Amino acid sequence: MAIIPASVSVPFLGVGVLLALVALTYKQLSGYLKKWVVMKPIPAVSRTYPFIGNALDLKTDAVEFFGQIQGYVEEFRDAPLIKLWLGIVPFVILYHAETVEPIVSNPAHMEKSITYSFLHPWLGTGLLTSTGPKWRQRRKMLTPTFHFTILQDFLEVMNEQAEVLVTKLASQAGRGAFNCFNYVTLCALDIICETAMGRKIHAQSNSESEYVQCVYKMSDIISRRQRAPWFWPDFTYKYFGEGNMHDSTLKLLHSFTYEVIRERAESLKLEDKSKPRKRRAFLDMLLETKDEDGNTMSHQDIQEEVDTFMFRGHDTTAAAMNWALHLLGSHPDVHHKVQRELQEVFGASERMASMEDVKQLKYLECVIKEALRLYPSVPFFARSLREDTKINGFKVPSGTNAVIITYALHRDPRYFPEPEEFRPERFLPENLAGRPPYAYIPFSAGLRNCIGQRFAIMEEKVVLSSILRKFNVKTSQSREELCPTAGLILRPECGIWIQLEKRDKAQTTLLL
């Protein structure tokens, strides 16, 4: 066997590496050019430059970026879709029910967009970010943990934490306008911590919760990176971007959930199995869940799901409840109808909400759904197309990223006349006929719809009903002052400012 001398092997290896780089570059370049030609007929959001695309046009400020996306949609409202390029990566933007449906309903397009890869260091490849066989297996394993009877067990937690929130809000009643956003967010965090991890963290008593601050910080960091393709490579991000800030924030987030999982696993080992368990958390069920082969989930698998539940399970719901409070406070007629329904269900009683009560709050549910129409917690989400697709006559090649703008989709005047108006009656059963199922998708749709949507609606009903049974709400902001900012979650830049007035028995009697 011939032996290559050392003096020859080094340049030989160098040539090999060079050839591999040339081949990779050629493959990337040829793929890029093919997509460019195929997608040329699709309307572009602005002038597109080779290799740079539209990346330099995108606003870096979150509020301005969201306004920019809205502007694109309004400009091209009658177009079936529009395109933009981030570097050499193509995106199509969708905001009509008929163009969204073939994407979210097709199992071939289940994979999340390339931009979701920046969530992997935080959330791993759990239910939100995984794809293929892993996603299918994980979804099958986790679906039973959201069964109705299990959700019923969490009602007590929701009521208890809503009561803490009402007590906190009482200190602000009659004192003028205040920002309620953090109050509601900390309540949602207390609920998800106790239901997901079985641990009370008393976030409402510790308003400077480090975990909350880290969640917001990480969301903003990831969102900024998603909009800047020059920071997509880890090397440039680490040495020229926010890589160090990202890593230090991530360390705090993971250390919190890791410690909780470790403690819970140890306590379960020591638990007396002969005694009935008062209340189970999602974490308990994850620690006991087995796949079809009888294998339990690893601690890393469990951490992926716990981190996902913690993020998606409190931030989205908190935002939705805050937007609903603003809308109720600025529409006295709707506010009055909700309180009349609450009076019919609860009377003068101060008891906590039962599952039967929650079911009866049908108009409040319409309010929640209409608030999610106007201000969906996730204002856009994206999929990677895994096969060539025709969208309304336009050919979109495999490998393109499809961005569904939920915020714009929900404002289609064909299905929501006067779309900027807040009208909960849109969601009464008699008004749903004829509306396409993909015209309203606040919890996504298709196979990858949100597994926790029933949990979210139930929580919102419990918390909002607790607030509205005790207080009258009035907004202190106009629609224009809200300044929605769309990172990973739709939030108002300056919070939600409201005024509260304590209700007395005379007011409740008038509603009868």
Q: With contact defined as beta carbons under 8 Å apart, do 298 and 231 qualify?
A: no
Residue 199 to residue 204: CA distance in whole angstroms: 14
Of 73, 486, 126, whose CA–CA distance to 319 is shortest?
486
Distance CA 299, CA 261 (A): 8
Instruction: Find out whether 187 is annotated in a ligand binding site.
Output: no
Helix (H) or strand (E) holding 491: strand 490-492
Going by C-alpha positions, the residue among 183, 149, 158 that lies closest to residue 353 is: 158
Whether 92 and 400 have beta carbons less than 8 Å apart is answered as yes
Pairing relationship of beta strands 89-94 and 401-405 according to DSSP bridges: parallel
Long-range contacts (CB closer than 8 Å, 24 or more residues apart) made by 425-429: 425/366, 426/366, 426/370, 426/373, 427/365, 427/366, 427/369, 427/370, 428/366
* DSSP for 376-424, written as a single string: -SS-EEEEE--S-EEETTEEE-TTPEEEEEHHHHTT-TTTSSSTTS--G
Burial status of residue 484 (CB atoms within 10 A of its CB: 0-12, 13-18, 19 or more): buried
User: What sign for the dihedral angle of Cα 407, 412, 413, 417?
Assistant: negative
Judge residue 1's burial from the number of C-beta atoms within 10 Å of its C-beta, 0-12 exposed, 13-18 middle, 19 or more buried: exposed
Q: Is 501 helix (H, G, I), strand (E, B) or coil?
A: strand
The first and second tokens of residue 60, run together, are 């870096």
Q: Is 472 left (phi over 0), alpha (psi -120 to 50) or beta?
A: beta
CA dihedral sign of residues 350, 355, 360, 366 = positive
Known binding site for heme: residues? 450
Known binding site: residues? 450
